[in-house]
Structure 1
Amino acid sequence: MTQKIALSWSGGKDSCLALHTLMEQGYEVVSLVTTVPKELGRTFAHGERTELIKLQGESLNIPVHFIECQFESYTENFFDSLKELKQTHGITGIAYGDLYLDEHRDWGEKVADQANLTAIYPLWMKKEDSLSALEKFVQSGYQAVVIRVREDVLDDTWLGKPLDEKFLEEIQLNTEVCPMGEAGEYHTFVYDGPLFTKRIELQEPSFIALETTKRLEFRHFQLIEK
């Protein structure tokens, strides 16, 4: 019997690669779970607009479940939503796109255990294998763009770069950066790929300077036929 699970979804390359891997392994992903600070309309993970996450869900034909929360009650709100999804969708597990940070896995496993769910980490690897993970994504057929960078390690020339062979070469030159950006050095948005029924067209980019990061904002976006 196919296991129904939810997937913690940021909209970036890690969660997309996790989704692809899970489906190859035979799981049925019935919900993409995305946390959003109350009243901001943006995701906790990347500060991305919820409208763009909705377009991803629509193209992937998987409903997005937004968890409204605050930093102080993040874990509690996440747990409550998992219980809700267990009741409404019959999920048996929650999957995460984390790669190798033990503290992230510890948190995810703890929350899943409290909800009596299985925690699934389809991309889990050793830190030194992160470059091969990026290579796999670049060769996967998915298309993503850098939407946010940490200013202490990457300047704003990285914003808007596609994750392609050139990116793969250039990111290796900065030894302070994990090739997959696991420590938040950069974040991405996936707008097309094998599982996408439609392409997300991103138009009119502009830069926004935040406290310690810079991000790429798109004024217009829409789904288009492929």
Structure 2
Amino acid sequence: MATVLSWSGGKDASFALREMHREGVEVVELLTTVSAQTGRSSMHGVGRELYERQADALGLPIRFVEIPADASNDEYEAALAEATDEYERRGIDRIAFADLYVEDIRAYRESRLEASDIEGYWPVWGRDTESLAREFADAFEATVVAVEDSALDESFAGRPFDESFLADLPEGVDPCGENGEFHTFVHDGPVFDRPVPVRTGETATVEPRHGDMVVHQCEVLPAE
């Protein structure tokens, strides 16, 4: 079945890609959203150039859905629906998501696909997040690019996602950040043909376009 992977550039999506490789799933494209104004993802703060380098190192094409600044939820959904419609015309069978256990998010994604013939697919759904986090840290290299202020202070932004990071997480923070506590950018691992060299820049505090959540984003930049 021809499958598109909803792509954040982070650890769960990378782990899901590895699982699909192991299962022989035909992944034909990565799909991600960026700001039409900045070319960056809203939560991760990762720029389009790094996503392109990442996709190239993975040997996969990537599709960018551009979201206007301060877009309403309806505008956001319309932009993704346009991509879904095109996938349906191309004969794509399903879109894979790397969600682990948040039922509301899964139900929302399923509702957005109901009007199409495209199925949702969850290759890592139900996995234990502690064991997944440690298995990921053993096999991949990633940088923590954003942390949610109510869960983690800004010192966690810019750190490698490794055993030390996991050991320092406060009680109640999911080891995979499944509740939005933190986000990562993956730059090497078993699904990559070659590493994506990166360096960290400054950390900035931002407020996402919706809600009152404060996020500390550490800029990641190409290292060469």
* TM-score normalised according to structure 2 size: 0.89
> C-alpha distance in 2, partners of 1:26/1:220?
31
CA deviation vs aligned residue, 1:136-156 (integer Å, no higher than 9, x gap): 2112x2110111111112112
**Contact kept? 1:10, 1:45, Cα under 8 Å:** no
Structure 1 residue 76: deviation in Å?
2.0
2:88 matched to which residue of 1? 86
CA deviation vs aligned residue, 1:163-189 (integer Å, no higher than 9, x gap): 222223222xx1131111111111100
Query: Match of 2:217, as an amino acid?
Result: R
> C-alpha distance in 2, partners of 1:71/1:36?
15
Mapping 1:199-210, distance limit 5 Å: 199-203=195-199, 205-210=201-206
CA distance change for structure 1 residues 219 and 4 in 2, over 3 Å: closer, same or farther? closer
Farther off after superposition, 155-164 or 16-25:
155-164
Q: What root-mean-square deviation, in Å, do the aligned CA atoms of Structure 1 and Structure 2 show?
A: 1.6
What stretches of structure 1 of length at least 5 have no aligned partner? Answer: none
> C-alpha distance in 2, partners of 1:95/1:137?
19
> C-alpha distance in 2, partners of 1:33/1:135?
26
Query: Match of 1:181, as an amino acid?
Result: G
1:51 matched to which residue of 2? 49
Is 1:195 aligned to 2:194, yes or no? no
1:106 matched to which residue of 2? 107
> C-alpha distance in 1, partners of 2:26/2:159?
32
Structure 1 residue 221: deviation in Å?
3.4
> C-alpha distance in 1, partners of 2:105/2:178?
11
Count, aligned residues: 214
> C-alpha distance in 2, partners of 1:196/1:125?
25
2:210 matched to which residue of 1? none
**Contact kept? 1:79, 1:114, Cα under 8 Å:** no
